[in-house]
Structure formats: C-alpha cells, structure tokens
Structure 1
Amino acid sequence: MAGTSTAPEDRGGDMSQDDRPDAATTAFLTHRNLLFTVAYELLGSAADAEDVLQETWLRWAGVDLGAVRDQRAYLVRIATRQALSRLRALGRRKESYVGPWLPEPLLTTPDVAEDVELADSVSMAMLLVLETLQPTERAVFVLREVFDLDYDEIAEAVGKSTVAVRQIAHRARAHVAARRPRGVVSQAESRDALRAFQRAVRTGDLQRLLDVLAPDVVLLTDGGGIKRAALAPVVGADRVVAWLDRIPAMVSMEPVQVNGHPALIVRQDGEIETVIAVRVDDGLITGLYAVRNPEKLSHMERETALRR
C-alpha cells in the first residue's frame, strides 16, 4: 500500500559499520507494509497508522530478538495493541466531530486493486462498516478475515483467550455480513461509473448525472468543521445532484486509485480540495464519499507530490 513511511527508513535505523541494517531493522522493514495496513484498517487514518508504526518500532527496537519465536506475530501484536489504544482515544474524539466522519483517503498502488479481498477491506464503504464494531471486535475481524491470522495469534495480539476470540470473531463476522456492501464490483465497472460521473459534473449535465446515480444514493461529506460540508448524509439522487451542482467550474478532477478503488482528486488552484470515492452497485453509484477536511488530505497531498 502507499503511505507506509516508518521510523527505521525515515531515521536511518540502527546500522552496522558496513551500512547493513541490523536484525531488528531488517525484520521491521520486512513486515512494515503489513503493520501499516493492520493499523490503517483499525484506525481509518494514514497519519495515525504511521504514528502506530513509529510506536511499534520504538518498542521493537528494545526487544531481545533471541527470545522472539515468531517475529511477524510479535510485531503484529505490538502494532495491534498500539492501534487499539489509539482507536479507543479516537472514538472519544469522534463523538464531538462536526458532521459525518469519513476515513482518511489513502492513495493505493495497482497491486492493491488486483488483490480483490484487500481492496474490499480498505474501501471507504467497508471501513465505514468497520466503524460500527467495538475496538476489540474490529481488531479480531481484521486480523482474522483480512490477514487470516490464527486464533492463538489474535488472542495474543488483543489480550483475550482463544475461546473468547473465537466468539468475538463469530459476532463480528455476523455484524459485518449484515452491513457490508453487496457483492464485489469490478474495477472496470467502478471506473466506468466514475468516468460518467466526472463528465456529468464537468459539463454541468444534470440529467447525465441523474442517470449515473441510484435513486437512493447517499452522499457523505467530511469537512471536519473546517471546510464547507453537509452536516448530515445527503440522501436521494435529486438532493445529491443539487449539492454537487455547487462544485466550482474551475476545479480539475484527476482519476486515481484510492483505498483500492477508482476515485477522483479534486484540485483548485493546484491544491487538493476534495477526494471523492464511490460505491457502485449494479452499474449505478449508490454511495459518494467526499473528504474535504484539510487535516485528512495532507497525507494525500504529500503522496501525490512524490509521484509527480
């Protein structure tokens, strides 16, 4: 996945005299993408996931590697516990959040889109479903269903018994199944719907826009109280079109891969104004997720700048 900066790489890590990474750094770098993805799926924030990686590295650097039987499991355990602690604190902050809360959009590479299960698990729609789980349920679900860790490993990571973890996994699986998006939508289908949406918005063709939106489409806009956004979900094609009609004509729209799926970066005067992700069912857009909070776009700004 994109956006996986970590302490050893950013700070140089501990190097031996011949400039080769030491054993702790090598192990961390080997598993850092996994650790970042675990943290991001638990937190819905690339910035917080990077902080978890930093905390994980600081703890890992002090571990006696000779006493570690499985380095990957040990690192996942550290990262999960750090993420859970942060997730509980975030939960309290979200209670006072202004308007709808959306995950921080994450610029992803083509290989993520090719992994259908991973792309589904980090999609905006799925991350919003995960938001409805309790922190421990979310961790158990992600570690089991996304990363296929065995129950004993998960029990170590979340500090529960294996029996309890099995029960939590069953409960979380049923909860997610009742709320997750219907079926798996192909990348091509999503791109086609998004391309039609982009043309309709750019040309101001309201009828074409209505044609690509499902009648019960839902628009969620996250301005975080900083940027103008709807303070409640906008429901229904007519209402969504009226809201989208406010997009200034001078903005540019760049197709990208965000959270494993086609999306649009909306720029004004060269700076990212909004990131729009979509959910598509049966060829129509049923969900629009517009992230406008500048605090959630700074990571995306850095990532896109690096790719230019």
Structure 2
Amino acid sequence: MDQDALAARFEADRGHLRAVAYRMLGSLSEAEDAVQEAWFRLSRSDVSEVHNLSGWLTTVVGRVCLDLLRSRAARREDPLEYYIPDPVVREEGAADPEREALLADSVGLALLVVLETLAPAERLAFVLHDMFAVSFDEIAPIVDRTPAATRQLASRARRRVQGATPAPAPDATKQREVVNAFLAASQAGDFEGLLAVLDPDVLLRVDGGVLTAAATKLIRGAEAVTAQALTFSKFRHSARPVTVNGAAGLVSLTNGVPVGLMAFTIVEDRIVTIDIVADPERLAALGVH
C-alpha cells in the first residue's frame, strides 16, 4: 500500500482512534497527540501482512496512551479525585459532527472522572475491552500480562466504574428541565428549590486549576452543595445552556466572560453530581466563550 492509500486508510479510522484515545486519556489535546503518534508509527511500519489494520491501529493507540498515562501518573502531584477531565462541549442546537463522533457511544464526564482513578493498565483493559470490544488476547501483550490476568484487570476496573458511576437520565428534555430549575433556584437564592432538585448525597467537584483562587474542592451532601450554589446569586452570574459530553450543562458568565463550565449527572429527577471547570486557561483551550 503506497503512502497516499495508507494515509486515506488512516483518515477513515481517525474518528474511531480519537474516541479510543479520549476515553483512555480524558484529554482532548493528548488524544490528538496519541492519534498523530499512531500515524507516525504506521507510516514507518510494514503492514503488508496486517489483515485487520483498524485493530492494529487501535492497539497502537492503546500502547501510546498507556505510556502517556504511566508518565502522567509518575509526574502528577495533585490528587486525582480533584481533577476533572476535558469535557466535550457543544452549543445547544449547533451541529458538530466531529465532536458527536467523539461521543458516539456516549461517555459522561462522571465516568471519565472515575476512569482517572484507575491504574493505567486497568484503564486500558477496561476501555479497550468494555467500550471497544477488543479481545483480552489482543490487549494482553500491550499490558505485558496473560489474557487471564488482563481479564482480571478489566474486571477490577468494571467493579470500580459500576460502583461509582450512576446511570444518567437518558431524556435530554428532562435533563434540561432539572438544570433550568437548579439555575433558577440558584439565582433566586431559593434554598428549598435547590434541595428539591439535588440528590441527598449529591457530589460537587470544582477544578479551578493550579493558578485559580476558586481552588479545587469536593463538596458532598445536598445542604452543603446548596450553600455553595447560593453564592452564585451574590455575583449575579448569568448562564447559557450547552451540552457537555452529551448531557445538559451550563456556561456561567460574569460580564459576558465565561468563568465556569458546569456539567450535571441527573438520575431520574435529581442531580447526583455537578462537575465545574473554573480554570480560565482550560476554558479557553476547550473553546468555551
């Protein structure tokens, strides 16, 4: 296969590879870097004997991502539970086929937060097998384990994910109604209205970035989260609706400038998690404006 044909073949798989890398890394820029590295490796390799090029590329991206995760784990100092992965943000009503393809199988932000807490090999085994149906025989060489041991990695990860990730409400209209009720109650300083839409064990995660006074914090429980939400009214924040990883979200604005991106996980009629990215640099990099 000549280089032009190889490039065309790679482009046909690019969307799939970006989706794999995004779930592995939780970073849009690193996912793009991993896909580009896969192209470099492909362009330097003899793949004439490769019968399933898509599968070969998926495992290459997996190897690249595993190396990045291990490197990240070695250098990261901040606690993982305070880090919110890159959300995929889309303005409501706007068509964005590339971003929709990235989330074709739907991956909520709450799930990505849980994936951040997994060991790199566990994350790879779970993502490749459970999300992309790659066999344990194919995954085992990447993590340098037997297929049976690789199955155990995925099983451990699956238990963590199922235990910590609620199944969100699939109805987009109902999600938006709940988020609108939350926003209205926040801006009105309506304590009872907030309690009505928050799960008793609601978890608020705020990632303000290392240079932001907002700081990073976790707040659990409806009354504590309500007290935090009521501070919104003091600053007269306005907000506009967006979709965050396929679910209802908000961009909070002060004087027209984005100061926070809010993602909600809603189960039935209650908000069970709120994830806020309040780092100005990340908001700009995500294209939130």
- Scaled to the shorter chain, the TM-score interval is 0.7 to 0.9
Structure 2 partner of 1:103: 85
CA shift digits 1:97-135 (9 cap, x unpaired): 69821111112568888999822xx21211122223211
Aligned residue runs from structure 1 range 253-292, under 5 A = 253-292=239-278
Looking at structure 2, the residues matched to 118 and 284 of structure 1 have their Cα atoms a distance apart, in angstroms, of 24
Assess if the C-alpha contact under 8 Å between 2:209 and 2:216 holds in 1: no
Show structure 2 runs of 5+ residues with no match: none
Pick the aligned partner of 2:195 from 210, 218, 233: 210
How many aligned positions are there? 282
Looking at structure 2, the residues matched to 166 and 131 of structure 1 have their Cα atoms a distance apart, in angstroms, of 19
Compute the displacement of 1:270 (Å): 3.8
Relative to structure 1, the CA distance from residue 31 to residue 128 in structure 2 (aligned partners, 3 Å threshold; closer, same or farther) is: same
Structure 1 partner of 2:230: 245
Relative to structure 1, the CA distance from residue 148 to residue 244 in structure 2 (aligned partners, 3 Å threshold; closer, same or farther) is: same
SS across alignment from 1:149: coil
Compute the displacement of 1:156 (Å): 4.4
Assess if the C-alpha contact under 8 Å between 1:105 and 1:275 holds in 2: no
Structure 2 partner of 1:198: 183
Compute the displacement of 1:155 (Å): 2.7
Show structure 1 runs of 5+ residues with no match: 1-15
Tell me if 1:48 matches 2:33. no
Pick the aligned partner of 2:166 from 181, 188, 199: 181
Relative to structure 1, the CA distance from residue 35 to residue 295 in structure 2 (aligned partners, 3 Å threshold; closer, same or farther) is: farther
Structure 1 partner of 2:9: 27
State the TM-score, normalizing by the size of structure 2: 0.85
Q: What RMSD, in angstroms, separates the aligned Cα atoms of the two structures?
A: 2.9
Structure 1 partner of 2:52: 70
Looking at structure 2, the residues matched to 196 and 116 of structure 1 have their Cα atoms a distance apart, in angstroms, of 26
Structure 1 partner of 2:129: 144
Q: Which amino acid aligns with 1:118?
A: D
Looking at structure 2, the residues matched to 87 and 116 of structure 1 have their Cα atoms a distance apart, in angstroms, of 21
Pick the aligned partner of 2:204 from 215, 219, 224: 219
Looking at structure 2, the residues matched to 222 and 188 of structure 1 have their Cα atoms a distance apart, in angstroms, of 27
Relative to structure 1, the CA distance from residue 295 to residue 51 in structure 2 (aligned partners, 3 Å threshold; closer, same or farther) is: farther
Compute the displacement of 1:182 (Å): 4.6
Mean Cα displacement is larger for which, 76-85 or 60-69? 60-69
Mean Cα displacement is larger for which, 90-99 or 138-147? 90-99
Assess if the C-alpha contact under 8 Å between 2:85 and 2:113 holds in 1: yes
Looking at structure 2, the residues matched to 98 and 287 of structure 1 have their Cα atoms a distance apart, in angstroms, of 17
Assess if the C-alpha contact under 8 Å between 1:220 and 1:234 holds in 2: yes
State the TM-score, normalizing by the size of structure 1: 0.80
Relative to structure 1, the CA distance from residue 295 to residue 75 in structure 2 (aligned partners, 3 Å threshold; closer, same or farther) is: farther
SS across alignment from 1:192: helix
Q: Which amino acid aligns with 1:178?
A: G
Relative to structure 1, the CA distance from residue 118 to residue 273 in structure 2 (aligned partners, 3 Å threshold; closer, same or farther) is: same
Tell me if 1:296 matches 2:278. no
Tell me if 1:89 matches 2:75. no
SS across alignment from 1:65: coil
Q: Which amino acid aligns with 2:191?
A: L
Pick the aligned partner of 2:105 from 118, 123, 128: 118
SS across alignment from 1:67: coil
Q: Which amino acid aligns with 1:104?
A: D
Looking at structure 2, the residues matched to 116 and 73 of structure 1 have their Cα atoms a distance apart, in angstroms, of 20
Relative to structure 1, the CA distance from residue 123 to residue 150 in structure 2 (aligned partners, 3 Å threshold; closer, same or farther) is: same
Looking at structure 1, the residues matched to 36 and 258 of structure 2 have their Cα atoms a distance apart, in angstroms, of 27
Looking at structure 2, the residues matched to 234 and 184 of structure 1 have their Cα atoms a distance apart, in angstroms, of 22
SS across alignment from 1:22: helix
Q: Which amino acid aligns with 1:266?
A: S
Assess if the C-alpha contact under 8 Å between 2:260 and 2:278 holds in 1: yes
Looking at structure 2, the residues matched to 146 and 139 of structure 1 have their Cα atoms a distance apart, in angstroms, of 10
Q: Which amino acid aligns with 2:186?
A: V
Pick the aligned partner of 1:135 from 120, 125, 131: 120
Relative to structure 1, the CA distance from residue 267 to residue 99 in structure 2 (aligned partners, 3 Å threshold; closer, same or farther) is: farther
Tell me if 1:163 matches 2:145. no
